Structure 1
Amino acid sequence: MNKRNIWQLAACCVGTALVTAVGIFTVEGVLLQNLTGSASESLRFLRAMHLVKQNYNGDVDNHTLYDGAIKGMVESVGDPYTVYLNRKDYKQLTEMTDGSFGGIGIVFGKRGDDYIVISALPDNPGAAAGIKSGDIITAVDDKETRTMNMEQVATAIRGKQGTEVTLELKDKEGNLRKVRVVRQEIKTQSVGAEMLPNSKIGYIRIAVFNESTASDFAKEYKKLEAAGMEATIVDLRGNPGGLLDTGVGVARMLVPKGPIVSVVHKTGAKEEYNSTLEQVKYPLAVLVNHGTASAAEIVSGAVKDTKAGKLFGVKTFGKGSVQSVYPLDGSTAVKVTVANYYTPSGVSIHNVGIEPDVVVELPETAREDVQLLAAEQYLKEQLQKK
């Protein structure tokens, strides 16, 4: 066989191979297109994984590759609240919403590139160590947080009870300090209440919105009524939020018949949550600050917009998005921002916050709780008008 015939044969073989490949990729391409929306991008992903497994000079674990791929894909949307939850993260998230979890008792959010402490929960190790709302977490155990996502920061802070974690913090004046905290089991008592001394004003503090908050609030509210309550203060300062449903449940006891909050999804579908309360029972004041966020802002926004009461304090944090957790395989999940919520007047407070009706600063050097005193004075005036 001469060279010309050899090349003709080779050309025929290559042609046959290309036809076969085109046939295969046409079928697979249609399937990938339907499944992922882009056959070419899916093939690019599979080729990258194949090249790493085939050529990387070291051990390659399939689970690690897929874990990294999912994490990168989810976080590429650029939303700090949309994250991949590995086995450890998912377990800790479940424990936290159940009302008991390990750590130091702080809740933080992301604003720009900064991780900001929303709340240091009372009677927990973080607050005892001097961590305050507004502190910026710049490093955890000497690892800079700017290289980490939110779940990684949270995972680094949490750990085995009795072990130490060191946080580098920057205060509002830009001063850096390091704080060493011993991790403990964190108990979140959601609701506490009492009658204010020498008055008919009931005081209810909500620390966080977990599974039991709405029912706990209802029980404490009834106790205060039995004790002679004629006006109510609800303290949401430093409350980082939590579950939307429990926030709505509390609002239904405070605001009159009508909208509490509306949740709008990417499709434009709207879910509206309403109150059926015929009228506001007692004069109401709500305390808010920069640590009031999420579900706590749902309650605050409903009170302000419906004029069920007045807000006292300083502007709230501004988290007006809603996340859903989608399990992947029983031990991992993705947490995705699925909607934004709007107050009864149709306002989105995301990254904006809620301005109180009465602005009252609380200096760190203050000897008295001037925000509480302002709310108490307002309610006493309302009771005198009766």
Structure 2
Amino acid sequence: MEYASMNFIELPFFTNLLLLLVLARVLGELAERLGQPAMIGEILAGIMLGPSVFNLIHKTDEIGTISELGVFLLVIIAGLEIRLDDILRSLKGRNIIISILAFFLPFFSGLGVGYFFGKEAMVTVFLGLCIAITALPVSIRMLMDMGKLDSEIGKKIITVAIFDDVLALTILGLIINIEHTDKSLTAIATVASISLVKLALFLLLLGIIHYAMKRLSKKEHFIEEQLNKLVNGLKAKESLYALLFIFILIFAMITESLGFHFIIGAFFAAMLLDGNLIGKNHVHAFGKTTNGMAMSFLSPIFFAGIGLEFSYASIADYGLLFTVLAVSFFSKIVGGYLGGKLSGLDGMSAFTIGIGLNGRGIMELVIANIAYTSGMINLEIFSILVIMGIVTTLTTPILLKWSFARLDKRM
């Protein structure tokens, strides 16, 4: 890490863990009470305890391992919110126009920023990717808090966010494979082609399993009943959770074996756990346990870990910082707005969709963290992306409430 030369007060591991968790939970609670996602407070906890402020804790391998588990569970939680049918819905009719513009306008805007500031190709692509993504869990939480999750606009925001997240994670898988080449045009083209074939095979496997599960589920509650028999026949506690967790780990292992990041497999595997196919009670129980593990312990440590690695002092190019903030903010809103208008929505509805897609939050920070820990971006770019994630997540609920209020007045 780039902090290696700094002097730290070396505290025992469990003391570090205790300090991180307590402050992360306290500041996370404060953020929730102020109407913001808990992750904002958790990141601030890491910034305060890390090199940026009090310099009490740095990110050790042990904290990094716990953070990886946090990422794993967060991705599962995001995947549980999505059905493959939802993805197909985002590709149907005029929704596809919003989905494409809301992703590719910010993506190419991010590429333009990287090119303008003379950044390397890999850094430029990650800028585009992080600017293009929408944090699906954050969007769902915001819309739930406003009572707009089931509204027509709310549903469009969610379907477009699903498309954005799936596409971003797919591109991430390709980037990770390309990173290990010698960067020549021939090598990149070869690896990209092989990666696309691997990805196609993986998606084909997903499709086959999804089709088989749907066929089996036509026999009323067949999969649910078989799971019940299996769980009832096992004496070990939490057998259902273990079985579903193993199912997801198998997919994570497959994607790692194919050269992609484990979160790709975990995300898509969680999507297969459809309550209509394996039983709503099973999915609810699994989701509840996963949320408990993630939100009580692993997720706060992950976000606090991001704060530990964040360094405002590492940002030397303030022009790049403010450009990334401006481009990320406006390109996403404009992309959603143009897509909405072209799909036949009125101006205010289209504007509301653009605002609703602007929060980056969890998924953008997961991708930024992967890029940084893999050495694909440096500390300065990582810190800029953290600030971008925080700023867009803080401002989105405020603007979205205002926008929905304007829409409600017209009804």
TM-score above 0.5: no
* TM-score relative to the length of structure 2: 0.24
TM-score normalized by the length of structure 1: 0.25
Higher relative contact order (CA 8 A, sep 6+): 2
The structure with the greater share of residues assigned to helix is 2
1 or 2, which has the higher strand percentage?
Answer: 1
Q: Which has the larger radius of gyration?
A: 1
